[in-house]
Structures are given as structure tokens and as C-alpha cells.
Amino acid sequence: MASDTSKRSSYFLITPMAAIFAVFLVIPLVTIVIVSFWDYDEYRILPDFILENYSYLLGSSVTWSIYLNTLKYAALTWLFTLLIGFTVAYFLAFHVRSLTWQIVLFMVCTIPFWTSNIIRMISWIPFLGRNGLLNSALINLGIVDQPLEFLLFSDFAVVLADVHLYALFMVVPIFNSMMRIDRSLIEAARDAGASGFETLKSVIVPLSKPGIAIGSIFVITVVMGDFITVRLMSGGQSASVGLQISNEIGLLQYPAAAASAVVLLITVLLIVTALLRLVDIRKEL
Amino acid sequence: MADARKTRERRPTSFYVLAAFFALFVLFLYGPMLTIFILSFQGENGGLTFPMNGFSFHWFGNLFERQAVGDFGGSFLRSLKLGLIVMVVTVVVSFMAGLAFRRRFKGDSIVFYLAIASLIVPSILISLGIGLLFNIIEWQPQWFTSALGAHLTWTFPFGLLIMFAVFNRFDPSYEEAARDLGASNWQTIQYVVLPMVGPSLIGVAMFSFTLSYDEFARTLMTAGALNTLPLEIYGMTTNVTTPVLYALGTVTTGFSFLVIALALGSVAILRMRKGQKA
């Protein structure tokens, strides 16, 4: 009896969340899959079952170069956020000794991530632009004669903005994993004669793996689907899968956008599945 | 104590290297923000980069003239209202879901994986899917229907994960004690559970408000005819080439900071009250 009522209350409590996910996540994704087989003309989308959206997409060399470009952004952003995130988390977890300072410094890292992404991208313009701070400084110091053109509206700017936007996604889970490492393990390693670097390599890195995996999932999926950073920071000179989808949406070619979306979703899911082999998410909470 | 002080005296060199790295990271995070903050006070004839051509509030004034830069006031109010609705719904629904997940029930892993999926599915897919759905059933997308749903798919996973973290560390014996003393289910939640998880719920509230207030990709195809603030800002980046853009950045970032400060302040007050009672 008691378990019956408690079960019923569990279902009552979970229904609102399950319903929202059903209506605004599951049904829309199913809609995308269905529409990716539909036909379209200039004005509307036409229910049908054709494979041309896919054959056109996968047969075009543009698609492959766009995927390559997006993967390049994802890989570079992943590499830099991982290096920065690990170092920052390591400093906070093992070198800052009082809990209060840990919390304060952690908050200092976190606050920018609660502000607008678009504004944070725009804020690079006065720094990187042709007459920006960096170019003026380089010219004044005599390092270069002419302003560097590649700083803004380039692949460099896209990756820089991505790292700037998403580094925290690495810091938080890695810091979380590091805080759970039993400090006596590190003492044991030191007592056994391990140098600082050896301790890092054979104790801290392996035990931080779940955090690294979760951070990687976050950063890679968000960069794979991004279009706004690429559009703003490359100045329209580079493409990404997300940008392609948003352009097709702009042209009202919904079935083509849907087919691109399905391929992107499959790509992202493959990457995530590979990373999930390294970590059991539910155990990490 | 003496031991702690002894170790504190002998900071390894690596500490200073890492501390310098950390300082650079903080500069990297805040530096650009600081430059647009300064540049938003650019003089009337000044441009998008340094040098400053005088000092004025001209661009802030410009921001509130409706014709000059689109409808800043209207889109701000819309984003504010949407953020508040998302916040209330996320706090209530995540708290309920958090309670539900304390026991195993059939389908619990389905909801859990939906939440994870919602987090990793690229935002533009949510936008496209909801946009298509509304298109097919011939409903007009509106910020308070389709955009609200799109934002909830983004805030629920964060709310749920925070609730997981909270309830995993929550000692059920407090509730058992309340029940032994004759408290009803609702009384137990009201007088025992809620006060204990209160600070975390404020965290969920702040998270969901700021995520919604700044959300762009998920709003793109779901906002309907009227823009939210991020859509308005995005529109401005493509056709505004004056420091009014920075003024907008300064105002919205200032507002975000205000929200964060409010949230942190109320957590601190809650903690202090709890400390006084104990």
C-alpha cells in the first residue's frame, strides 16, 4: 500500500518535466526527422517521402568541407579549453588552501558565464580589430609594421571566442572531480617517492578523467552545433554545420535544413557515445 | 594551526607559476568586457575602437530612442518577463522532479536520459524542430509559448542536475524525524526540506533566469514576430556600427551582474538566518 502511494506520488512529481520534454524536445526532433524526407518549393514545404535532401547534402563536396571546418573548430577549442580548464582547476583544487578563497576564486571564474554570449563576442572587436588595442600595442612596440589582419574575422577569432565562451565548461567538472580525490592518495604517492609531476600524471590525471570527459562532451557538442560565434567572429568568411542549417532556415528551405540537422545530430551522438565510454554520468552527481 | 602556517611559508615555485596563469585567465575573461565598458562612454564623435574621443553618456541616451536602434525597451521587457516565467517554472518543476528521483520508479532513466539529451542536442535543432512543429500545426510562434518551451528544454537539465547534487547529500533522517513527530507530507516539505534546500533553489532560479535571458539560438525560430533582447542585440551587430552597441552591452551586462548579486545576496542572508537559529 505505502509503496503504491509513493509510486503514484513519484509519477505525479515527474509528470510536468516529462511532459515538457515530450512536447518541446521529443516531438520536435521527430518532426525534424519526418520533414527531412519532405519536398519543398519557394513558398512552402510539401509532405512527401524523398531522399533527395540527403543525397544532395551528402553528395556535395561543400558539406564535407564544412564538416571538416566544424570539426577543426571543435578540436582546437577542445584542446585549448582542456589545457586551460585543467590548469585552472588544478590550481584551485590543490594550490588554493582555504575553502573561502576557493569559493571566491571559483565565483570570479564563473560570473562572466552568466552574461550574454553575444556581448562577450562583441567585446573582442575593440581588442582585435584593425585599429584595435592589440594591433596598436604591437605597432607601438615595433613588433610589426602593419596591423595584423588575421586577428578579427578569421578562424583565429572564432577559436579564441569559443575558448573564451566555453572554458568554464571544462573548469567546473574537472574541479569537481579533483575535489573528490582523497588527499591521502597524494600524500601516499609523495611518501612513495613520486615527484610532483609523477603524482600529477599517475594519480591526479587518471582520477580527473570523469570530469575531463564531461567537460569534453559539453565543449565539443556546443561547438559542433554553434553558428552565431562562427558568423560573428569570422565575419561571414567561414562556415560551420550550424551556420549552414541557419542559412537554410533563412532561405525557408526547411527540409534541407532538417536533413542537415539529422546528420549533425547523428555526428554529435556518435562523439558523445564515444566519450561516455569513459565515464558513468549518473555516478558523478 | 602551527603546522598549517609552516606549510604556508613553503609555497612551491609551481604555486607562483599557476597563480600567474590563473591571473592571466581572469584577465582573459574580464579584459574584453572591461574595454567595451570603457568604450560605451565614448564621446559623440568617437568610433568603435580606441582612442576615446571625449567622454559622454551620448550612446546610452541613444539606446533609449526607439527609432535609432530598434526596440530596445520592448525586447528588454519581453526577455525580462520570459526569464521570470522560465525561472518560476524551472524552480518548481525541477524541485518536484528532484523529489521524484529520490526513489526508483519505472521510466526514471528515460527522463534522466531525456534531460541529458536536452543538454547535448545542439540548440539550433530545438529551435528548428519547434519552429517546424508550429509551422505544420499552423500555430503562430510566440515568445510565451514556443520560445518558453524551447528555453525550458535548456534550463530543466541544469535544474535537475543541481537537484540531484543536492538530494544525493541530503540526510533523510530529518524527514523521518519530522514524520515521527506527526508532520504530514506537505508539512515535512514545507518546514524541513524546503528550508534545507532553499539556497540551492535560489541557485536554480538564478541559473534558469540568466540562461533564458541570454538565450539566442533556441529563440531564433521560436520567438515569433516580437524580438527578445538577444535577438535584438544580434540584429544590431549586423547593422549598427556605433558605440551604441557597447552601451547596450554595458547595460545588459550590468543587469546580469545585478541578478547575480541579488541571488548571492539572498543565499548569504538565508545562510546567516540559518546560522542564527542554530
Q: pLDDT tens digits, residue range A133-178? A: 888 888 888 888 888 877 888 899 999 999 999 999 999 999 988 9
pLDDT for the residue A216: 93
Cis peptide bond prior to B51, omega within 30° of 0:
yes
Core vs surface per residue B203-228: b (16+ CB within 10 A) or e? bbbbbbbbbbbbbbbbbbbbbbeebb
Q: What is the mean pLDDT of residues A59-76?
A: 92
Predicted confidence (pLDDT) at residue B2 exceeds the cutoff of 50: no
**What residues contact residue B241 under an 8 Å CB cut-off, 6+ apart?**
B48
Chain A residues 173-202 within an 8 A CB cutoff of chain B = 196
Within 10 Å of residue B52's Cβ, how many Cβ atoms? 15
CA end-to-end span of chain B, whole Å? 26
Q: Which residue has the higher pLDDT, A10 or A90?
A: A90
Q: Does A264 touch chain B (CB under 8 A)?
A: yes
Strands A45-46 and A39-40: antiparallel
Residue of A14, A160, A169 best to disrupt the B interface, most CBs of B under 10 A: A14
% of chain A exceeding 70 in pLDDT:
96
- The band of B273, judged by pLDDT with boundaries at 50, 70 and 90, is confident
Q: What is the mean pLDDT of residues A99-119?
A: 87
Residue A270 lies in a domain: yes
Residue A217 lies in a domain: yes
Predicted confidence (pLDDT) at residue A260 exceeds the cutoff of 90: yes
Looking at the DSSP assignment, which residues form a beta bridge with residue B68? B70
pLDDT for the residue A97: 83
Cβ distance B128 to A249 less than 8 Å, yes or no, reads: yes
Q: Does B254 touch chain A (CB under 8 A)?
A: no
Predicted confidence (pLDDT) at residue B6 exceeds the cutoff of 50: no
Q: Which CATH superfamily is domain B71-239 in?
A: MetI-like (1.10.3720.10)
Q: Does B88 touch chain A (CB under 8 A)?
A: no
pLDDT for the residue B69: 54
pLDDT for the residue A76: 96
The DSSP secondary structure of A90-120, one letter per residue, reads: HIIIII--SHHHHHHHHHHHHGGGGS-HHHH
Chain B residues 151-190 within an 8 A CB cutoff of chain A = 152-153, 156, 160-161, 164-165, 168, 185
Q: Does A8 touch chain B (CB under 8 A)?
A: no
pLDDT for the residue A195: 82
Average pLDDT, whole number, for chain A? 88
Predicted confidence (pLDDT) at residue A273 exceeds the cutoff of 70: yes
Nearest-by-Cβ selection for B168 from A6, A11, A285: A285
Q: What is the mean pLDDT of residues B141-162?
A: 92
Cα separation, B153 vs B218, whole angstroms: 9
Predicted confidence (pLDDT) at residue B188 exceeds the cutoff of 90: no
What's the gap in Å between the CA of A221 and the closest CA on chain B? 6
Q: What is the mean pLDDT of residues A179-185?
A: 87
Q: Give the ipTM.
A: 0.88
Cβ distance B256 to A6 less than 8 Å, yes or no, reads: no
Predicted confidence (pLDDT) at residue A111 exceeds the cutoff of 90: no
Residue A193's CATH number: 1.10.3720.10
Cα separation, B192 vs A230, whole angstroms: 49
Q: Does A112 touch chain B (CB under 8 A)?
A: yes
Cα separation, A89 vs B106, whole angstroms: 38
- Residue B78 near residue B143, CB atoms below 8 Å: yes
- The band of B126, judged by pLDDT with boundaries at 50, 70 and 90, is very high
What's the gap in Å between the CA of A181 and the closest CA on chain B? 17
Nearest-by-Cβ selection for A17 from B111, B135, B165: B111
- Nearest to residue A170, comparing CAs of A99, A91, A89? A89
Predicted confidence (pLDDT) at residue A1 exceeds the cutoff of 50: no
- Nearest to residue A212, comparing CAs of A82, A41, A113, A89? A82
Q: Which residue has the higher pLDDT, B56 or A278?
A: B56
Using CA atoms of A274, A280, A284, A285 in order, give the dihedral in degrees to the nearest 10. 100
Q: Which residue has the higher pLDDT, A236 or A82?
A: A82
Cα separation, A82 vs A68, whole angstroms: 21
Q: Which residue has the higher pLDDT, A52 or B278?
A: A52
DSSP 8-state secondary structure symbol assigned to residue B82:
H
What are the chain A neighbours of B15 within 8 Å (beta carbons)?
Answer: 95
pLDDT for the residue B191: 86
Q: Does A100 touch chain B (CB under 8 A)?
A: no
Amino acid making up residue A217: I
Cβ distance B130 to A10 less than 8 Å, yes or no, reads: no
Q: What is the mean pLDDT of residues B40-65?
A: 77
What are the chain A neighbours of B241 within 8 Å (beta carbons)?
Answer: none
Residue ranges in chain B assigned as alpha helix (H): 2-9, 13-39, 58-63, 72-100, 108-120, 123-136, 146-168, 173-180, 185-188, 194-214, 229-239, 244-277
**What residues contact residue B224 under an 8 Å CB cut-off, 6+ apart?**
B140, B141, B142, B143, B146, B147
Residue B144's SS3 state is coil
Cβ distance B29 to A112 less than 8 Å, yes or no, reads: yes
What's the gap in Å between the CA of A61 and the closest CA on chain B? 23
Q: What is the mean pLDDT of residues B184-208?
A: 87
Predicted confidence (pLDDT) at residue A72 exceeds the cutoff of 50: yes
In chain A, the residue whose alpha carbon lies closest to the alpha carbon of B10 is A95
% of chain B exceeding 90 in pLDDT:
31
In chain A, the residue whose alpha carbon lies closest to the alpha carbon of B13 is A95
pLDDT for the residue B18: 92
Cβ distance B105 to A14 less than 8 Å, yes or no, reads: yes
Residue A127 lies in a domain: yes
Nearest-by-Cβ selection for B128 from A122, A218, A257: A257
Nearest-by-Cβ selection for A261 from B39, B125, B260: B125
Predicted confidence (pLDDT) at residue A278 exceeds the cutoff of 80: no
What's the gap in Å between the CA of B188 and the closest CA on chain A? 15
Q: What is the mean pLDDT of residues B224-230?
A: 86
- The band of B252, judged by pLDDT with boundaries at 50, 70 and 90, is confident
pLDDT for the residue A237: 82
Instruction: Tally the domains of chain A.
Output: 1
Predicted confidence (pLDDT) at residue B1 exceeds the cutoff of 50: no
Predicted confidence (pLDDT) at residue A89 exceeds the cutoff of 90: yes
**Which residue matches cell numbers 518532426?**
A31
Kindly list the distances between the CA atom of residue B237 and the CA atoms of A119, A169, A182, B229, in Å, as whole numbers in the listed order. Answer: 10, 26, 49, 12
Reported as a single tens digit per residue, the pLDDT across B26-36 is 999 998 888 88
Reported as a single tens digit per residue, the pLDDT across A184-231 is 888 888 888 888 788 888 888 888 888 899 899 999 999 999 989 998
% of chain A exceeding 90 in pLDDT:
39
Amino acid making up residue A161: A
Residue ranges in chain A assigned as alpha helix (H): 2-21, 27-35, 52-59, 61-90, 99-110, 117-122, 125-128, 133-140, 155-179, 183-191, 196-199, 205-224, 228-233, 241-250, 254-276
pLDDT for the residue B66: 58
CA-based radius of gyration for chain A: 24
pLDDT for the residue B132: 92
Domain that holds residue A245: 61-284
Amino acid making up residue A94: F
Nearest-by-Cβ selection for A24 from B8, B99, B150: B150
- Residue B240 near residue B167, CB atoms below 8 Å: no
Predicted confidence (pLDDT) at residue B90 exceeds the cutoff of 80: yes
Chain B residues 28-57 within an 8 A CB cutoff of chain A = 28-33, 35-36, 39, 48-50
Kindly list the distances between the CA atom of residue A163 and the CA atoms of A118, A126, A151, A253, in Å, as whole numbers in the listed order. Answer: 14, 18, 15, 32
Q: Which residue has the higher pLDDT, A137 or A242?
A: A242
Residue A4 lies in a domain: no
Nearest-by-Cβ selection for B105 from A10, A97, A133: A10
Cβ distance A132 to B49 less than 8 Å, yes or no, reads: yes
- Residue A69 near residue A240, CB atoms below 8 Å: yes
Cα separation, A96 vs A98, whole angstroms: 6
- The band of B3, judged by pLDDT with boundaries at 50, 70 and 90, is very low
CA end-to-end span of chain A, whole Å? 31
Cβ distance A25 to B153 less than 8 Å, yes or no, reads: yes
